[in-house]
Chains A and B, each alone.
Chain A
């Protein structure tokens, strides 16, 4: 076997580590390499390159990838579960490169308008009586949702298709408010607890973060924690309660950390948060 033929076979020999034994002339080529310094050098150089390549690692992707993935998955599940007419809109939405931004808009169309729903029914804020009435209504809606789960959301959604985009806008506007009043915070808590869109829930939680010192906010977030099914939102909720170091969160975290049906990363996060208390 001459040097030229051996050189042709060299990559096959290198491949053996990945793709199993090279057939054919491999044994003969090996014998040649052992006896020919030039081919031996060539083989060594190729092997070094391949080894360096194999040793090349990439640090893991940023948490953004996981975050966006689970948001997308949650939204897709919603679309799949939504009744046919609601499904048509997102399917027809134009594809944009930044899809995780693109699906914000269409999905807003197939979700519960918690803020708008409440706001639309609320008398103008100000009087105590109105405030009490609003709270009662809120409480009733909460109970109803707790009983019936997302089914309620879906039926409400069908009544609320028109102004659905307003919901996100509502959350974002609330987030911008410098000194939000109780009602705004309550709306955000409602969105966090009831809104079927993981995106809206995340935005609501973000908006609530600066007000973690308020009892209303802390207890609202705590109430949302056991209801939440989306791992992504669960993780954010856990971060939130961990940051507040509210001992009242311990039982909920403990339940989460032990629940086998819960996503692994969520259980781990709950455990880590518990360790901080």
Chain B
């Protein structure tokens, strides 16, 4: 008879869910399957972040894949006192930077007309039109921000990260992270208003 360790999958289904941090520590310590749960929890938000950052779905998907690949590859560097989400976005930032360095092109914005397709599930419904145009305008406005501004804005508004964590991801002080986020929001507002007031072509 072989004495078997507790099946990790049984632990997973226990009512008390393991935290992201606990799961990543488990991955680090060799329970690679725990990364599956982290993937299921975070692929959506991570993809959303990268999509808005790059303005391109296939690129966002490629980078998201690289992020999970690096989590696995660099699992031994995950720290006891780490925050999983902050670590993930730290990696995401690096992966995005690598991606653009490799493709030798600046992050480009998608044509807002393309984005329309993805945004609205009922493109023919008239009452959706206003929202859709607003979305498209916002996408266009986001695309016109510079990469750093877009990044800090997306981190501060979407990802449930504290400014302390954001400052860690961006490798700057908490104060600087706030200032950058606020400046980015103002700039976005300016561009957004300008686009809204532009007569429809």
Chain A interface residues toward B at CB < 8 A: 11-12, 14-15, 18-19, 45-46, 49-50, 52-54, 56-62, 64-66, 68-70, 72-73, 76-77, 80, 97-100, 231, 260-261, 263-265
A58 and B47 contacting across the interface, CB-CB below 8 Å: yes
- Given A11-B181, A73-B35, does the pair A61, B60 have CB atoms closer than 8 Å? yes
Chain B interface residues toward A at CB < 8 A: 7, 9-10, 13, 30, 32-33, 35-36, 39-40, 43-44, 47-48, 51-52, 57, 60-62, 64-66, 68-69, 72, 99, 102, 118-119, 134-135, 138-139, 142, 153, 156-158, 160, 162-163, 178, 181-182, 185-186, 188-189, 192-193
B65 and A53 contacting across the interface, CB-CB below 8 Å: no
* Of the residues A65, A66, A68, A80, contact of B30 by C-beta under 8 Å: A80
B189 and A18 contacting across the interface, CB-CB below 8 Å: no
Question: Across the interface, which residues of A come within 8 angstroms of B119, CB to CB?
Answer: 57, 59
Chain B residue, CB-CB nearest to A45: B189
Question: Would you give 8 A-B contacts (Cβ < 8 Å), ordered by A?
Answer: A19-B162, A53-B157, A65-B65, A73-B32, A73-B35, A73-B39, A73-B72, A100-B65
* Of the residues A46, A98, A99, contact of B185 by C-beta under 8 Å: A46
Chain A residue, CB-CB nearest to B9: A261
A66 to B156: give the CA distance in the assembly, Å.
26
* Of the residues B32, B64, B138, contact of A77 by C-beta under 8 Å: B32
A53 and B193 contacting across the interface, CB-CB below 8 Å: no
B181 and A61 contacting across the interface, CB-CB below 8 Å: no
B102 and A97 contacting across the interface, CB-CB below 8 Å: yes
